[in-house]
Amino acid sequence: MNSKIFKLKRRYVRIVTPSGYKISNIEVTPVFVPFIEQVKQAMAESGDGTGTAIGVEEAWLGVDAAICKVTDNEGNQGIGEIIAWLPETGISVTQVNSSIKDHIGKYLIGESPFNIQGITAKLDKNFARHEVAKGLLDMCLYDLMGKITQRPAYDFMGGCPVDSIPLAALLPLADPSIVKAFAQMFYKQGYRTFRLKLGKSISEDLNLIKMMRETFGDKIHLRVDYNQAYSTYDAIRAIKAIEPFEIDFAEQPVDKDNYLAMQYVQKHIQTPLMSHEGCFSVNEYTMLAEMNAVRVFGINTERPGGITKGLKVMDYAAMRGLGIVLHSQPLGISSAIHTHLTAARYHQIDYATELFGYIMIEDDLIEEPLNYHDGRVDIPHGPGWGIMLDEKSLRKYATGPTITIN
């Protein structure tokens, strides 16, 4: 450690800053973790095997992810995770690995993991876009800083005013009897916020929302996700039909690339809109907001790319008075990361966080699972993300060789 002494108003303040720690090695492993059988069966109800109205050709059978390790010259290691699903991310795990191996990984070697701003600027200047790959490296740095200093990662993000956070439950696009059964099960487990997949038809959407309100009354919060199901004018009709039932926000009702349609829909409804498939960079988030096309930002470790940019977007949203929600269906590493990110901006976040991977997948790839209880999850307070990668599970679910940059 280096220490500098500053004389400030006749008081001596010793500031201790880590030095000598340099990134020496990067490893990325592709994995695939299947969904449990019950989840696959529920998703099959949608017709395309995804549990959504997105209408793709291949069923969604599990989580494709890249697990990254960034190691320094003292042997400290930071870890991160991204999930990739081509209909949404538009980039595969193979492409993420290639981006890191062939292009951007080299820019971290020899750098201090504490030089977050410098590394971010270097990656952005040398490699346009590809926020998912850059974000994977970024999140590893926060874990690595925590491991070096023996402090939780949230200490480098704004602190942690709470020990647990409330969660939302995800309900697939399925027969109303199945949706109701899942909702009642999750309600008994303590969940009070539900995200419903909609988009089969306006009348079927309305019947599902009616069923939820008739079953639970005003004891729950509802959010809906259309997965780009509707045209501009049908989206307006669909959302107006369910507005009397108090919807927190509606996610991606129209095509992901049609920002003008999002703007038009938002202008003609009361319910806040949120884009998901349509934004992967800081500029895309701010553009949608400046167009008044959304009133809620949906954020995860892939969008807008890691921790540094995620915090930037969240602070922008808070200044603009926009809603913020963190949501994903990740493995264990990214789930822990989401809890730290939520905690670090806890007083700016309006909605329950959605972390549903632990229910959907057969293995979370961490040694000790997070503590989910009463519709909440505890924030792990150990060094970095507060969790450890399960190396045995990593090897079991690996779909290809580990790439190494040093």
Q: Identify the band that residue 386 occupies on the pLDDT scale cut at 50, 70 and 90.
A: very high
Are residue 181 and residue 262 in the same domain, yes or no?
A: yes
Residue % of the chain over a pLDDT of 90: 84
Give the residue numbers spanning the domain of 317: 158-384
Q: Could you tell me if 355 and 399 lie in one domain? A: no
What is the reported pLDDT for 381?
Answer: 96
How far CA 373 is from CA of 140, 165, 187, 277, in Å, comes to 27, 10, 12, 30
pLDDT at 9 over 60: no
pLDDT value at residue 50: 82
Provide the pLDDT for residue 13.
41
Residue 6 is predicted with a pLDDT of 39
pLDDT, position 4: 44
Average pLDDT over residues 10-31: 76
Tens of pLDDT along 106-126?
999 999 999 999 999 999 999
- Give a yes or no: residue 343 inside a domain: yes
Closest CA to 186 of 210, 162, 222: 222
Quote the pLDDT of residue 47.
73
Question: Does residue 262 sit in the same domain as residue 397?
Answer: no
pLDDT of residue 10: 41
Residues 60 and 124 in one domain: yes
* CATH assignment of the domain containing 219: 3.20.20.120
Asked, for residue 18, whether it belongs to a domain, the answer is no
Mean pLDDT of 254-265: 97
For position 3, what pLDDT does the model report?
42
pLDDT at position 12: 44
The per-residue pLDDT for range 281-296, each reduced to its tens digit, is: 999 999 999 999 999 9
Q: How many domains does the chain have?
A: 2
pLDDT confidence tier of residue 155, bands split at 50, 70 and 90: very high
- Selected residue with higher pLDDT from 324 and 278: 324
